[in-house]
A = this chain, B = another copy of it.
Amino acid sequence: MTPERKARIQRVLNSRQPDLCVVTDYVHKGRNLSAIVRTADAVGAMDLHCVIGDKEYKAFRGTAKGSHGWVKVHRYTALADAVQPLKAQGVQIVAANLSAHSVDFREIDYTRPTALLLGAEKEGVSVEGQALSDAEITIPMVGMVQSFNVSVAAGIILSEAQRQRQLAGLYDAVRIDEKTYQRLFFEWGYP
């Protein structure tokens, strides 16, 4: 490992946010899932909880290849299996959903342990997803088209989460435990 590579990995591990993650509620296009993983990595999120059918998941793993190494992708076929363990840990479930009772996405406190729940390309967040979430948020739009591409919506919301966490100093001290740090350091450094 070159000194540059080592320093880069350490910088990234020093910024990792164990209490920020993404849940996808049957988002099934590989290119959207890949863009979401890439964005999750960029803001320091460590886990993508991916609720999806078997076949679509295989296709996604196939197209995305190595690029998933930085964010752990967990796979479920039922949304509750992804969400209930997070809720049990006190993580707030924030659903990105274009509904009448959604609040502006900037009103949420993302410095709290947070899972961002994203809806499917056509169907949006499922009825179950809405029931399981603690808050529903919307990104204001002033155009003719009714929604953003889901990976674009993820980028806008996670970037706001990152801004808030930056201000709160959550990137200024190591937030993952020593064991996880060492494990990822070796996995990433000596693949």
Interface positions of A (Cβ within 8 A of B): 8-9, 11-12, 15, 31, 35, 38-44, 67, 69-70, 106, 139-145, 148-149, 151-156, 159, 162-163, 166, 171, 188
Please give the distance in Å from A187's CB to the nearest CB on chain B. Answer: 11
User: Does the CB pair A152–B39 fall under 8 Å?
Assistant: yes
Q: Which B residues touch A148, using CB under 8 A?
A: 35, 38-39, 42, 155
User: Does the CB pair B43–A142 fall under 8 Å?
Assistant: yes
Q: Which B residues touch A38, using CB under 8 A?
A: 145, 148-149, 152
Protomer copies: 2
**Closest B-chain residue to A158, C-beta based?**
B156
Q: How far is the CA of A171 from the CA of B153 in the complex (A)?
A: 21
**Sample (7) of A-B pairs whose CB atoms are under 8 Å apart:** A12-B142, A41-B143, A41-B145, A43-B142, A43-B143, A70-B145, A106-B163
Q: How far is the CA of A154 from the CA of B155 in the complex (A)?
A: 9
Please give the distance in Å from A30's CB to the nearest CB on chain B. Answer: 11
Q: Which B residues touch A11, using CB under 8 A?
A: 142
Q: Which B residues touch A166, using CB under 8 A?
A: 140
User: Does the CB pair B143–A42 fall under 8 Å?
Assistant: yes
Q: Which of A139, A143, A162, A163 has the most CB of B within 10 A?
A: A143
**Closest B-chain residue to A35, C-beta based?**
B149
Q: Which B residues touch A106, using CB under 8 A?
A: 163
Q: How far is the CA of A159 from the CA of B104 in the complex (A)?
A: 13
Q: Which B residues touch A188, using CB under 8 A?
A: 144
Q: How far is the CA of A117 from the CA of B84 in the complex (A)?
A: 43
**Closest B-chain residue to A13, C-beta based?**
B144
Q: How far is the CA of A12 from the CA of B9 in the complex (A)?
A: 46
**Closest B-chain residue to A155, C-beta based?**
B152
In order of increasing CB-CB distance, the 8 nearest A-B pairs are A41-B143, A152-B155, A15-B142, A42-B141, A70-B144, A35-B149, A42-B143, A156-B159
